[in-house]
Amino acid sequence: MAIVRSIPGTAEGRRRLALDSPVDRRPIDEIEVADAAEVAAVVAKARAAQPGWAARGVAERAAVLRSAVEVLVARREEIIDTVHAETGKPRVEALTMEIVAGCDFLNHWSARARRDLRPHRQRLHGYLLPLKKLYIDYQPLGVIGVITPWNGPFILSLNPVVQALLAGNSVVLKPSEVTPRSGEWVVRILREAGVPNDVVQVLHGDGETGAALVDAEIDKVCFTGSVGTGRKIAASCAQRLLPYTLELGGKDAMIVCADADLERAAAGAVYLSMFNTGQVCMSVERIYVVDSVADEFVRLVTEQAAAVTYGPGAADMGPLFWDRQLDVVTRHIEDAKAKGADIAVGGSPAAGNGLYFQPTVVVGATHEMRLMTEETFGPVVAITRVRDEDEAIRLANDSRYGLSGSVFTKDAAKARRIASRLVTGSVVHNDASVIYGVAEAPFGGRKESGVGQVNGTGALRGFTHPQPVLIDRWQTKKESVWYPYSEKTQRSLEAVVRYGFGTRLGRRFLS
């Protein structure tokens, strides 16, 4: 992402931030920081606009959102240019991570909306079946505050915003202050597709603006970012009993079994650790390889990592997006070296003015090193030899994070057995990172990696209140258990217990 500097404020006292390119540190943009008063005003507009948007119905909202696919396709070059200016990521990665995934999410969620959000009748069980009918209606929550990060600035803004809009909510988006225009494109294309201006709005600013949005009169917070900020949001929401989802990063482990296809595993280890310069929440940050195949695996990884190109222009890998991230990666590598790890490839910031770090392979990493316990978020393959798969599972679970993980083996059944023992939000076989792009898969972390889930079959409903409506079938004068109580009331209830739940046939009938 861009390098952020404070600059003199406006005449009205508004704070301003300047953005410099991570490629060569040249100035690229400036933004004004929205204060609490502006946040409140924007939320008030969203509140006023939301009922009209909800009243348009699921089918009409879905049609508007589906038309946004055409807008995205038409404006893709402008979006890619903006993403590259703010992050420096290569064009291929901008296409893969931001544009293709964005088109897919828009198309998928707009197609699912009518099925997932339509009111439906729910069959009742047992003795209630002849007496009542149950319907479930999905009511929008109101105004959703979406706060998004810098590593996937367009797609990680688009996905929750689209889900919330389809569910009938209005949305206020606060993208990262270091990729503001990339996030802003989400609002621009949705408005161009026909979403009313006040139904989807963007606020620019830093943590001060994000905190003001969380504290504003909104109805849910959807946040992707750091654990520290996530804790603050959770505490603030708890005071108001406000629902939230938090996706807070990870320290994902990759297990390489003795029967793995080592060429695929090595290629995956390099790509899945270095794609997006390693700045992906599901990036492979720890690799545990069974000792019997470790030598060959390390040889293949070293060979492939050494061939990865980086730097300005047509290279495989772009810069780190943030100057602070360069400092984190450097500290982790220096700590690993000091504690005995072998740096087989790279290991240093690249020469020049940009935020480039060499593709790096670390062999002999241990859990005494920050590289294996703290989120690195950089282009580093960190490898640990293990005795067997049981030790790999134990070490993979030895983390305060639990976002995702991967298992490389030729045996799919083994992959599922290992997955069942991993304390992590998701597991991928012979791949990694891709799970967020699988719209049907519920995505969310365990432990410090987050609270709640996005995507999956409940994604759109997560931005609604499922309201059960129980309808009386017969409209009798009163229910059998209403006042006044009588001997007949008691006999009827005892009969239900004795002949219904007290016999095997009765329990089966009432289940």
Per the annotation, the verdict on 237 as an active-site residue is: no
List all residues 6 or more positions away from 479 whose beta carbon is below 8 Å from its beta carbon.
none
As given in the structure block, the two tokens for residue 4 are 């952020």
Distance CA 9, CA 334 (A): 38
Catalytic, out of 247, 375, 389, 448: 247
Catalytic site includes residue 247: yes
Q: Which residues contact 51 (CB under 8 A, 6 or more apart)?
A: none
Catalytic residue among 222, 237, 257, 281: 281
Q: Tokens for 377, please give them.
A: 């978020």
3-state secondary structure of 27: strand
**256, 288 contact by CB (below 8 A):** yes
Report how far residue 2's alpha carbon sits from residue 511's, in angstroms, rounded to the nearest whole number: 59
- Under 8 Å between Cβ of 245 and 456: no
**The length of the chain, given as a count of residues:** 511
Specify the DSSP class assigned to residue 95: I
Q: Is 126 left (phi over 0), alpha (psi -120 to 50) or beta?
A: left
**Can you spell out the DSSP letters for 258-277?**
TTS-HHHHHHHHHHHHHGGG
Tokens representing residue 372 in the block: 């294996």
3-state secondary structure of 117: helix
Q: Which of 157, 237, 233, 234 is nearest to 200 (CA)?
A: 157
> What is the rounded CA–CA span in Å between residue 72 and residue 106?
9
CA dist 264 and 255 (Å) reads 13
Task: State both tokens at 304.
Answer: 């492939």
In whole angstroms, give the CA distance from residue 183 to residue 190.
12
Rounded Cα–Cα distance for residues 398 and 413 (Å): 24
**Active site residues per annotation:** 247, 281
